[in-house]
Amino acid sequence: MLNIHPISAFNDNYIWLIEQPESRRILIVDPGDAIPVIQAIERQRFIPIALLITHHHHDHIDGIDQLVERYNIPVYGPETTTIPSITHPLTTSDTLIVDSDFPAITILDISGHTALHIAYLFDNCLFCGDTLFGAGCGRLLGGTATQLFQSLQQITSLPTQTKIYCAHEYTEANLRFAAIVEPNNLDIQQRITDTSIIRQQDKPSLPSTLALELATNPFLRCEQTTVIQAVEQFSGKQLATPIEVFTELRLWKDQF
């Protein structure tokens, strides 16, 4: 059984530490800032063995060089020139075995937020960077709406008990938007209450589960009549396909 620790960074980022508790060895996901990671390693006497990177944005990679210099560990990430520190480029054909202490990791292509973005899936845990958020999804910052829609559809095909480890604490803000899209969705109302209690205790709202996202995340509900009608009213258009609904929904959220 692995332990997964959230490390807060910047205003709302999470850097995830994946620990094998018997050996204290850890994998580090998207270290945008090295300092809180080093502090956690020294406090808990962790042994870092690798970095896992989802995409190239600075708040996910700016701590790489300092961690590599300090611990001399490999850096796994998408096959791209935008992250020069990567030592082990990955594609979706790869099954990653970092170390015998950790299970094999499936690499998913979940582009859309950026033109190239990957996720790491193992033990029913999905580390998805900025593609899927609690009750939301990433903005289009280099990728296309079609890419992002297809990536989210790929995620929805996973087992519903899959735990979603994304990289930002955006859940409360996303739920406010979700409640406008579907004001009569009781699951959204309950999640707003539950999330408020969690955040008042200064705890992360993450991970969520895919089952919870399917019930409360409008970006995964573009085939639902309630979502279609709300988006058509916002856009003033008749929308024929789920991807059209998704595209207009993303534009609506951008203006929210």
- Alpha helix locations (H) across the chain? 34-44, 58-61, 64-71, 145-156, 171-181, 186-200, 210-216, 225-235, 242-255
* Model confidence pLDDT, tens digit, residues 217-247: 999 999 999 999 999 999 999 999 999 999 9
Mean pLDDT of 111-127: 97
Mean pLDDT of 69-97: 94
Nearest alpha carbon to residue 219 among 192, 168, 184, 254: 254
Residue 161 is predicted with a pLDDT of 98
Is 219 exposed, middle or buried (CB count within 10 Å of its CB: 0-12, 13-18, 19+)? buried
Mean pLDDT of 196-212: 98
For residues 93 and 103, which has the higher predicted lDDT (pLDDT)? 103
Q: Confidence band (pLDDT; 50, 70, 90) for 145?
A: very high
Q: Confidence band (pLDDT; 50, 70, 90) for 201?
A: very high
Is 198 exposed, middle or buried (CB count within 10 Å of its CB: 0-12, 13-18, 19+)? middle
| Sign of the torsion angle spanned by Cα atoms 175, 176, 177, 178 | positive
Residue 65 is predicted with a pLDDT of 98
Residue 237: count of CB within 10 angstroms of its CB: 12
Residue 20 is predicted with a pLDDT of 97
Architecture of domain 1-90: 4-Layer Sandwich (3.60)
Mean pLDDT of 78-87: 92
Residue 229 phi/psi, 5° resolution? -65, -40
> Is this structure's pTM higher than 0.95?
yes
Task: Give percent of the chain with pLDDT exceeding 70.
Answer: 100
Q: Is the pLDDT of residue 93 over 90?
A: no
212, two tokens? 């919870």
Q: Is the pLDDT of residue 106 over 90?
A: yes
CA gap 64, 52 in Å, rounded:
10
Q: What angle do CA 234, 239, 242 make, to 5 degrees?
A: 105
Q: Confidence band (pLDDT; 50, 70, 90) for 94?
A: confident
CA gap 106, 83 in Å, rounded:
21
Mean pLDDT of 189-214: 98
Mean pLDDT of 66-79: 97
* Model confidence pLDDT, tens digit, residues 9-63: 999 999 999 999 999 999 999 999 999 999 999 999 999 999 999 999 999 999 9
Residue 187 phi/psi, 5° resolution? -65, -40
Residue 84 phi/psi, 5° resolution? -65, -20
If you average pLDDT over every residue of the chain, what do you get? 97
Would you call the peptide bond into 207 cis, given omega within 30 degrees of 0 as the criterion? Answer: yes
Mean pLDDT of 209-222: 98
User: Does residue 150 contact residue 112 with C-beta atoms inside 8 Å?
Assistant: yes
Domain ranges of the chain: 1-90
Residue 82: count of CB within 10 angstroms of its CB: 15
CA gap 198, 213 in Å, rounded:
17
Residue 81 is predicted with a pLDDT of 84
